[in-house]
Amino acid sequence: MLTRREMLALSAAAAAPPSLHPSIAWALADDKEDPTRVFTGDKKPIDARLGAPRTLNDYIPFSPPKTKEAWEARRTQLREQLLVATGLWPMPEKTPLNAVVHGKIARDGYTIEKVFFASMPGHYVTGNLYRPTHPAPDPGMKVTYPGVLFAHGHWANGRFHDAGEKAAKASVDAKGEPDMDRGHFFMQALPATLAKLGFVVFQYDMVGYADSAAIKHREGFTDITAELRLQSQMGLQTLNSVRALDFLTSLPDVDAKRIGMTGASGGGTQTFILAAIDDRIASAFPAVMVSTGMQGGCVCENCSLLRVGTGNVEIAALFAPKPQAMSAANDWTKEMMTKGYPELQQLYDLYGAKDKVAVRAWLEYGHQYNVHAREMMYGWFLKHLQGKDEVVKEPAFKPTPVAELSVFDAEHPRPKDELDAAKLREEMTKASDSQMAKLTPKDGAGLKEFKRVVGTALRVMVNSELPKEMTEIVERPERQALKLKDDAPRVDGRKLVLRAYGRRNEKDSVPTVILGAKGGPTEFVIWLHPKGKASLVENGKHHPSAKSLTDAGCLIIAPDLLGTGENISAKPFAVDKNYAGFTFGYNRTLLANRVHDVLTILATFGALREHVRLVGWGEMGPVAILAKALAGDAVKKTAADLDGFSFEKIHDTNDPMTLPGALKYGGMGAFLGLCAPGEVLVHNQKGSGTGNLSRAAYDAAGAADKLTRNAEKLDDAKVIEWLLK
């Protein structure tokens, strides 16, 4: 962070160019038309965000930290990111399952039962329960078995899947399956074998598969309201997995401390996601999914915020040091042995548990969960859930007719209260709003919990926080070509110091102007404007408000936030027209990036926090509030023009103010509440929805007088007067 002495040096109006902190890259402008221009000639801002956005098909490597302590801190934040992204932060109230288990079918060494239960009111999880029929060692002795959740993935008809005669024969001919029964029905072979080996298995339906027919797969959760409330098929499916685990661990013959989970493809996604967020999973085997390549191509595997700054290998690493194995094939996982597995081993080695992670590839086969991978999984679960070190050969089995596996029949019809997607989302919204209402702070303890929940959510939505160290730009060849000039630009006789700030791990660059104070600074103002740093100059002179600030002894720092000034792209990336989660699942929104940029700038002045003020003009007012909410006491006073903005007014995922999750967590009112007890002025706030929550937060903080509101827009002079007071 810059010291006060360095700041004083920067503000010297007539002095020679100051000695800059060595980690900051900068250049003096030579553009006579725009004296605030940082990048000279044909040089452009070196900001990775101006390039193509990340997609689910990009190469997404994992770099393990060097210490367990660093990983534990990262693990906590990443786990929170998954929970927020899937709409499970905080976890929705767990209502009674009211499980129905019926229709037992006797098989050789196991039984199959039919199950349905309510994961939430109006939505049902369906599936089959496979149980061993091993006799107890002693009459009357209670026997408990380890349990396994089996998520089926995107095979046609899910747990009812029949590969068909042609595909079954091809599998047998390629030695991927031992016989035609398993060639046709590997979905049944897996749970049947586990049951014979002494596991209780619950094989449940993904949304829109087999008996789960009320909501079609891939439909019902792709509009802007779903984004703003973090309602997604990915989230619904993950909640179903949590409730399936609730069901499995509630069974009297299941040992809740010995639970495994497996699944392939989309079922593999559910496996490593649930293993990452639910500590009850003791061992995991996600098949043909974890890789540094394609991250999952379905809406049930993607949602906004989920993989911003991360990927499947790192998400799978969250399970460490518990035992986890996975299979790879001749698909997007084909390089896992050299790209992904070594890094997982390094991570596990931090815990002295390198032997607890394993990957094996069968590159002679395409995307599959065939007998070779299944046998690896059986041995893994036997070792880690039963304590047996055995090589398993999957036995032949007799498939059960699909019609007999169906959950609903004349005696057990579909529940009459089952809801379609639209009506279910209405109920989800009511439940979520009820949770938020209960978080409304009434005292100091309530404010602390409000900030824990909503503050964490905002950090995830922005995918940023105030850096603990000074921000910087890594030197790159393009930047070394920039030449410094002695004839620095001047406006009204004062020199403009021009810099570009960024973060080493982000490859970003925020062009910034520092305008010195008259007579040396006593205060520091971060100036956020829709026109960026160029707004400081009007017709060759200082903007009147900027002059008022510098005349009063304030040093002004004016950045070009992403999408403004020099940091504007000729062609901003478009949001996926079918599902925004494919875009915002891997990239920050524009609003989030702008807040991130403000935090980057603020980090430079962390040592001077008692003197830092933040002002947001026009559409940058909400940016200022969100930045203050995340920056805490790094900002002394904040003034923001809300321009009547509210997240309820967003009707298009391409809107630059889109922020997935904003409505779920209370909108601008909640984010303004996070600023308590800081001094904040909001004006032009009519229709912004910043009332009750923010007022309650400031009251709970004992700082009601620190929040100033004005329904109408204040003129600039009034804003400056308040800022300097």
The pLDDT tens digits of the residues spanning 287-309 come to 999 999 999 999 999 999 999 99
* pLDDT of 127 above 50: yes
Closest CA to 478 of 41, 30, 49, 43: 43
Residue 478 banded pLDDT, cuts 50, 70, 90: very low
Q: What is the pLDDT of residue 537?
A: 87
Q: Are 675 and 629 in contact (CB under 8 A)?
A: yes
Q: Where exactly does CATH 3.40.50.1820 map onto the chain?
A: 4-58+464-724, 86-414
- Structure confidence at residue 706 (pLDDT): 98
Query: Residue 473: what pLDDT?
Result: 43
Checking if the pLDDT of 476 tops 70, the result is: no
Task: Point out which residues pair with 513 in neighbouring strands.
Answer: 498, 558
pTM: 0.93
Percent of the chain exceeding pLDDT 90 equals 79
- DSSP class per residue in 290-316: -SSS----STTS--TTTTTT--HHHHH
Return left, alpha or beta for 669; rule: phi > 0 is left, psi -120 to 50 is alpha, else beta.
Answer: alpha
Per-residue pLDDT at 491: 72
- DSSP codes joined into one string, 592-635: HHHHHHHHHHHHTTGGGGGGEEEEE-GGGHHHHHHHHHHHGGG-
Least confident of 155-169, 357-371, 450-464, 682-696: 682-696
CB 143 within 8 A of CB 255: no
Angle between the 621-631 and 590-603 helix axes, to the nearest 10 degrees? 50
Which of 40-54, 554-568, 626-640 has the lowest average pLDDT?
40-54
Each residue of 140-153: pLDDT tens digit?
A: 678 899 999 999 99
Q: Coil, strand or helix: which one is 132?
A: strand
> Over the chain, what is the mean pLDDT?
90
Q: Which helix (H) or strand (E) holds 263?
A: strand 254-264
pLDDT tens per residue across span 229-258: 999 999 999 999 999 999 999 999 999 999
- The confidence band for 503, taking pLDDT boundaries of 50, 70 and 90, is confident
What span, in angstroms and rounded, lies between the C-alpha atoms of 440 and 390?
55
pLDDT digits (tens, 9 = 90+) for 618-656: 999 999 999 999 999 999 999 999 999 999 999 999 999
> Which class in CATH covers the domain with range 86-414?
alpha beta
Architecture of 4-58+464-724 per CATH?
3-Layer(aba) Sandwich (3.40)
Query: How far from each other are the two terminal CA atoms of the chain, in whole angstroms?
Result: 26
Residue, of 608 and 79, whose pLDDT is higher: 79
Question: How many CA atoms does the CB half-sphere of 218 hold within 13 Å?
Answer: 7
Percent of the chain exceeding pLDDT 70 equals 90
Round to whole Å and give the CA distance between 572 and 577: 14
How far is 415 from 648, CA to CA, in rounded Å?
34
Predicted local confidence at residue 42, as pLDDT: 59
Q: Which residues contact 424 (CB under 8 A, 6 or more apart)?
A: 120, 122, 123, 215, 236
d(CA 68, CA 80): 18
* Cβ(168)–Cβ(281) below 8 Å: no
Task: Give the pLDDT mean for 326-343.
Answer: 98
Say if residues 694 and 708 touch (Cβ distance below 8 Å). Answer: no
